[in-house]
Amino acid sequence: MKILKRLLLLILIIIIIVLLILIISGYSMYKTAINEVPLEDKIASLEEDENYAYFDELPKDYVNAVVAIEDHRFYDHSGIDIISIGRAIVRNVTNLSYVEGGSTITQQVAKNLYFSQEKKMTRKIAEVFVAFDLEKNYNKDKILELYVNTNYFGSGYYGVKEAARGYFDKSLDELTLEECALLAGIPNAPSVYSLDVNPDLADERAQYVLNAMEEYGYI
């Protein structure tokens, strides 16, 4: 019995040490990124793009579609979603690999602004620190605005305004509910859901978005 207790204690100590190393490494990555280009400078640079879409330009249906499919507790959490993280941990342990990150919209903005798409725990932790900065300095509408402007929509389109023009030859205020759902669904896997590549899969994804909107009371 004593041997078992000692073994469990040793395992616990190893886990704590590994977590501390990951947190320190992630924080170091975060500080390096922020020091190289401060957050306000990153955002100011984005806003200079002629295709930048401000929150007031976004159709309500599109905003609701994005929140429903990407992060339905977006307006309630402070940058990270403990429930989503818990679900992701269960999936990762079950699959014995890193298959889900439980990222909120804020974390995705942090990743889009500073980090690669590589699935590594150190990057994930750095992303959380940037997410906290975003939540501290900007309101939710601004963070969502940044999200739709930093996403890739497939077929060479970056940002929702460019995607709306490229796919539908429409301005944002001309989009229908169905088109809003299509655009909300694409960034999850742009190469898969691009309307130019897999229109049928894009339609299936859009229906999934519409179902989520209905589930959360948006339609």
User: What mean pLDDT is predicted for residues 173-194?
Assistant: 97
The reported pTM is 0.87
List pLDDT tens digits, range 45-59.
999 999 999 999 999
Quick: pLDDT tens for 141-155: 999 999 999 999 999
- Tokens representing 199? 């229109």
Instruction: Average the pLDDT over 37-52 and give the result.
Output: 97
Lowest-pLDDT range of 49-58, 82-91, 109-118, 200-209? 82-91
pLDDT, residue 4, reads 81
* Whether residue 193 has pLDDT greater than 50: yes
Kindly state the helix (H) or strand (E) to which residue 205 belongs, with its residue range. Answer: helix 199-215
Per-residue confidence (pLDDT) for residue 89, from 0 to 100? 57
- pLDDT of 96 over the 50 cut: no
**pLDDT score at 118:** 75
Mean pLDDT over the full length of the chain: 91
Angle at 154 between CA 153 and CA 158, to 5 degrees: 50
Q: What is the pLDDT of residue 99?
A: 47
The ranges assigned to domains in the chain are: 2-215
pLDDT (average), residues 192-213? 97
What pLDDT is attached to residue 93?
A: 47
Number of other CB atoms surrounding residue 189 within 10 Å: 13
pLDDT at 88: 57
Q: How confident is the model at residue 85, as a pLDDT?
A: 66
2-215 CATH, one of 3.30.420.10, 2.60.40.10, 1.10.3810.10, 1.10.3720.10: 1.10.3810.10
CA distances 123 to 27, 48, 88, 126, Å, are 9, 27, 16, 5
For residue 218, report the phi and psi dihedrals to the nearest 5 degrees.
-85, -25
